[in-house]
Amino acid sequence: MLQNKTTDLDIVRPVVDMLRVHAPGRVNLIGDHTDYTGGLVFPMAVDRGITIDYRVGGSLIALESTAEPGAVVVPLPFDSDPSTVSPQWASYVAAMAAELGTTQGIIGTVASEIPSGAGLSSSAALECALGLALGFDGPPLDLALAARRAEHAATGVPTGIMDQLCIASATEGHATLIDCHTLDVVQVPVPTDLDIVVEFVAHRTLVGSAYTDRVAECARAEAVLGPLRSASITVVERHRAELDDVAFRRARHVVTENERVRDFADALGRGDYPSAGRLMTASHESLRSDFNTSTSAIDRAVERCVTSPGVFGARMTGGGFGGCIVAICEPGALDSGWSVRPSAGAHRVRVLSDGG
């Protein structure tokens, strides 16, 4: 911790109250690769996240991380290209400062309980937590939109709004059913007699992955079919001959996935866990075969889960190409991975007493 050792940051540490913000990571229960065509997603903020303890003052953002070596120092106002800042997590810091037009500095420590590269949205959590630490004071949707613009500026990857909007707007005990076209968020209670288990299979990054190709392939399908968010499988099948095979399969995934999200929310609401689980497993199969975002290690992990007693369903979660799987099961049915609970979105925690 900063308080317990002398670091380079100590020379600029202002003598003001210590503050704290927290933003959760998220796991997507169902609805992947649907957000950037304005479709439906159903993510849940989890009880692991990013906490920043900081003091306000000066004209620098100066942060240490409990997970990464070295300190990040961003001079304010920041008006250069954030993607050129290193290490990589500093580019999110610089991008958020540029996005918010921040001029007042902070100095502090970032503590993360989310491994980076797990597909649990550590970067969106960092952006949202940082936004609050830098004084953002608007509605969750505006925080999410600012954070998403920062993500694009930092990485160049044209990601959707799911991660930031879930993390900015979640309420404890609920998952967030999001319409990524209207940006409406419905808070759906998550049953307490259901275990949600996340298993980290393989490190990955969306930078340099085929994520950007998937966005382009969906746009190619939309040039023929119109918006995928309002297309049906019948429409996709009818236009099959006008689409190349890749665009056809991408479109088939998106329109069936939107339908699965609706059905999953209904099944969860009825307490029909077997149906909800089957929809998750069908989602995985569609992502594997039509969207090609799974890997053999992820497929094996899903297969192991769905053949275990007491497991209702499992799937890859998030952008794919590695990362995590998520399963729903009877309490205690899986002893691998982390059992996660639905948690509150990004928030200011409390003023800590100033030990220094």
The catalytic residue positions are: 163
Looking at residues 316 to 355 of the shown chain, list those that interact with ligand GLA (rule: CB under 6 A): 318-319
- Which residues 6+ apart lie within 8 Å of 119 measured at CB? 204, 317, 318, 319, 320, 322, 323, 324
- Which residues 6+ apart lie within 8 Å of 300 measured at CB? none
The window from 27-35, 81-89, 169-177, 247-255 that contacts ligand GLA (CB under 6 A) reads: 27-35
- Tell me whether residue 37 or residue 109 sits nearer to ligand GLA (CB atom): 37
Question: Is 24 among the residues that bind ligand GLA (CB under 6 A)?
Answer: no
Sign (positive/negative) of CA torsion 328, 188, 21, 89?
positive
Question: Is 35 among the residues that bind ligand GLA (CB under 6 A)?
Answer: yes
CB atoms within 10 A of CB 329: 23
Closest contact distance (angstroms) between CB of 32 and ligand GLA is: 4
CB atoms within 10 A of CB 236: 24
Contact of 246 with 290, CB cutoff 8 Å: no
Q: What single-letter DSSP state applies at residue 342?
A: -
- Tell me whether residue 56 or residue 183 sits nearer to ligand GLA (CB atom): 183
Question: Is 163 among the residues that bind ligand GLA (CB under 6 A)?
Answer: yes
Closest contact distance (angstroms) between CB of 162 and ligand GLA is: 4
Q: How far apart are CA 159 and CA 165, in angstroms?
A: 12
**SS3 call for 63:** strand
Question: Is 127 among the residues that bind ligand GLA (CB under 6 A)?
Answer: no
* Six token digits for residue 322: 């590695």
Q: How far apart are CA 262 and CA 71, in angstroms?
A: 44
Closest contact distance (angstroms) between CB of 166 and ligand GLA is: 10
The window from 157-165, 219-227, 267-275, 325-333 that contacts ligand GLA (CB under 6 A) reads: 157-165
φ/ψ (deg, to 5) at 75: -75, 145
Closest contact distance (angstroms) between CB of 110 and ligand GLA is: 20
- Tell me whether residue 22 or residue 33 sits nearer to ligand GLA (CB atom): 33
Q: Tell me the number of residues near ligand GLA by CB under 6 A.
A: 10
- Tell me whether residue 54 or residue 321 sits nearer to ligand GLA (CB atom): 321
- Tell me whether residue 27 or residue 197 sits nearer to ligand GLA (CB atom): 27
Nearest Cα to Cα of residue 155 among 126, 130, 123, 132: 123
The window from 6-14, 156-164, 255-263, 327-335 that contacts ligand GLA (CB under 6 A) reads: 156-164
Closest contact distance (angstroms) between CB of 340 and ligand GLA is: 16
**SS3 call for 272:** coil
- Tell me whether residue 85 or residue 118 sits nearer to ligand GLA (CB atom): 118
- Tell me whether residue 102 or residue 176 sits nearer to ligand GLA (CB atom): 176
The window from 30-38, 74-82, 97-105, 228-236 that contacts ligand GLA (CB under 6 A) reads: 30-38
Nearest Cα to Cα of residue 140 among 342, 346, 348, 350: 346
Question: Is 162 among the residues that bind ligand GLA (CB under 6 A)?
Answer: yes
Q: How far apart are CA 236 and CA 194, in angstroms?
A: 35
The window from 78-86, 96-104, 160-168, 265-273 that contacts ligand GLA (CB under 6 A) reads: 160-168
Burial-class residue 79 by CB neighbours within 10 Å (0-12, 13-18, 19+).
exposed
Q: Which residues bind ligand GLA (CB under 6 A)?
A: 32-33, 35-36, 159-160, 162-163, 318-319
